[in-house]
Structure 1
Amino acid sequence: MEAIGRNPRINYERVNYYETLNEYQFKARFRLTKIQFSEVLSQIENEIVQTNLNKKEIAPNIQLLVALRFYATGCFLQVVADFCGMCTKTAQQIVHRLSLAIAKQLFQKYVRILRREEDLIKIMSQNFQVSGMIRVVGALDCVHVKIQSYGGEDAELWRNRKGFFSINVQCLVNSDLEIMDCVVRWPGSTHDSTIFSHSRLKCRFDEMEFGNGLILGDRGYRNHRYLMTPLTNPITPAEVLFNEAHIRTRCMVERCFGCWGRMFPVITMGTRFRKPERSINVILATAVLYNITRRDKKKIPQGITHYLSIPQIDIIECQVLES
């Protein structure tokens, strides 16, 4: 009987796509421009632990390309590994490591609500231009990100009302379609209003941290002095106009979810990890990268550029977990 030995070692051909692709080709495959890629890499490079493949170190820029390719396709890790020239296990380790590094180092910097009065006035004026709703800081809603069942006694907690397993992600979005607050830790069976009731965002509005600012939500939320929902049975013309303005302004959160999912299909197609913390870190990482692309797309008027460059870190409710 022929003995079965170990699989022979394969020498993969690894390509540095940062150097071989032009700007358009690079952005189409990795969703970031080369300038944005360099900016992200410079901020997380110290967190990246070198891995070995065939006794050769994998450079930090190659590792970031692996993670971006996974976010931009949402496909199996084996496909990403073949594209980047490495084995599946190495690609898996890199994706988990990079997702944790991005979420840990960059989330509080790029996903935040600016608290200064002039910044809040700017946000409210931009939201007012959508349909005339005054004092609106942002629109609030939740989106279900598909996951694979984690198994165990609590497996059914992750099944949502639509019948599939998911993580229920709450986001607060402004008129630039940027994510200003993100809560990623609740199973799919949790109601949207429960997530908001237990979020730090609610405590911040209760303490009037944002002055007289308002947020808009759908009928799944309860009305508060700072949270407005549509009228159930509008009768008068004024009530009908209020609902129309409310819907037109609140739809920016739905548009944000659409842009986020198209930019990083891993949000739409879901993850197939065996631990919830790994899925959470991927969601947080893609939220950071999405905000980076939105920030560079919007036009910054003269005179307020310095507001965006001042580091102003808030503690945002999220759950970055070690895998």
Structure 2
Amino acid sequence: DYNHQIRHVVAGWPGSVHDSTVWASSSPARRPDSFFDANQYQAGDSGFALCLRMLTPYRLPYAAESGNNAFNTGHASLRVVCEHGNGILKGRWASLSCLPVFIRRSGDVKIVCDWILACCVLHNVVNLRNGEDHVPLFVEEIRQGNISDSPVVESSLIWREKIKSELLSYLGLN
């Protein structure tokens, strides 16, 4: 979030799996109303499917339209905050960039997941000790499965248009 607090962790997927696949398997994606208030959402890059609570930028050719272009610029600013939070996490806990654990048996995967989760919890604790607001950490270990991308539904398109309109109004561009 804006305070670089980690709100949810999904541990257990190999690094080669696309973020959108991991997201689609997560509890917030499957039950968004349990994790997001009415005006909250996750800002994903263009590799994610647009759906309620996963706000994505406009893709070409629609991205070239002026209002959509301004929306994408604002959306990119949100993504920078998310990526900066990831950078802070990896900067604090350098072991996350190269875990010193060899995976030889199934129990080793659990050690790696626990290591990642511990770093995330400690990251939030450090933030809290520096006066940041408390945000509960939701932890989810996932089972790998065959996840299919959900189609973009009309309500998701309307939702994104509403947010775009609010952003453009705030920026004085409409």
Q: Secondary structure at the match of 1:316?
A: strand
2:146 matches 1:317? no
Whole-Å Cα distance in 2 between the matches of residues 258 and 314 of structure 1? 18
Deviation of 1:219 (Å): 1.2
User: Aligned match of 1:285 in 118, 133, 136?
Assistant: 118
Counterpart Cα distance in 2 of 1:193 and 1:299? 29
Offset of 1:285 from its aligned partner? 0.5
Distance in 1, matches of 2:125 and 2:109, equals: 25
* Residues 28, 34 of structure 2: 8 Å contact kept: no
- 1:317 maps to amino acid: E
Partner deviation per Cα, 1:112-137 (whole Å, 9 max, x = no partner): xxxxxxxxxxxxxxxxxxxxxxxxxx
TM-score normalized by the length of structure 1: 0.39
**Matched AA of 1:237:** S
Superposition misfits of 4+ residues, deviation over 3 angstroms? 206-209, 312-316
Q: Distance in 2 between matches of 1:208 and 1:281?
A: 22
**TM value normalised by structure 2:** 0.68
Q: In the alignment, is the contact (CA less than 8 A) between 1:204 and 1:210 conserved in 2?
A: no
Aligned residue among 248, 265, 269 for 2:77? 248
Q: Residue 248 of structure 1 aligns to a residue in which SS? A: helix
Q: Which has the higher strand share?
A: 1
- Per-residue CA distance 1:126-157 (angstroms, 9 max, x = gap): xxxxxxxxxxxxxxxxxxxxxxxxxxxxxxxx
Contact 1:271 1:279 in 2 (8 A): no
Larger C-alpha radius of gyration, 1 or 2? 1
1:263 aligns with 2:86: no
Q: Residue 176 of structure 1 contacts residue 298 of structure 1 at CA under 8 Å; is this kept in 2?
A: no
Structure 2 portions without partners, runs of 5+: 143-174
Q: Alpha carbons of 1:207 and 1:263: their partners in 2 closer, same or farther (altered >3 Å)?
A: closer
One-letter amino acid of the counterpart of residue 316, structure 1? V
Deviation at 1:236, TM superposition (A): 2.8
Q: CA deviation at 1:257?
A: 1.4
For residues 296-315 of structure 1, the aligned pairs below 5 Å read 296-298=129-131, 308=134
- C-alpha offsets along residues 149-194 of structure 1, whole Å, 9 cap, x if unaligned? xxxxxxxxxxxxxxxxxxxxxxxxx001111001001122322221
Q: Is the 8 A contact 1:273 1:279 kept in 2?
A: no
| Mapped pair 1:294 → 2:127 | yes
In structure 1, give the amino acid aligned to 2:51: H
Find the residue that maps to 1:196 and give its secondary structure. helix
Q: How does 1:1-323 map to 2 (within 5 A)?
A: 174-205=1-32, 210-233=37-60, 234-274=63-103, 275-298=108-131, 308=134, 316-318=139-141
How far is 1:209 from its partner?
5.4
> Structure 2 counterpart of 1:283, which letter?
I
Cα deviation, 1:82-139, whole Å, max 9, x if unaligned, reads xxxxxxxxxxxxxxxxxxxxxxxxxxxxxxxxxxxxxxxxxxxxxxxxxxxxxxxxxx
**Alignment correspondent of 1:46:** none
Name the CA distance, whole Å, in 1 between partners of 2:36 and 2:3. 22
Name structure 1 gaps, 5 residues minimum: 1-173, 301-307
Q: Percent identity?
A: 24
Kindly report the root-mean-square deviation, in angstroms, between the aligned alpha carbons of the 2 structures. Answer: 2.4
Count of residues paired in the alignment:
136
Q: Equivalent residue for 1:130?
A: none
Q: 1:265 deviation in Å?
A: 0.6
One-letter amino acid matched to 2:99: G
Relative to 1, partners in 2 of residues 1:315 and 1:227: Cα closer, same or farther, differing over 3 Å? closer
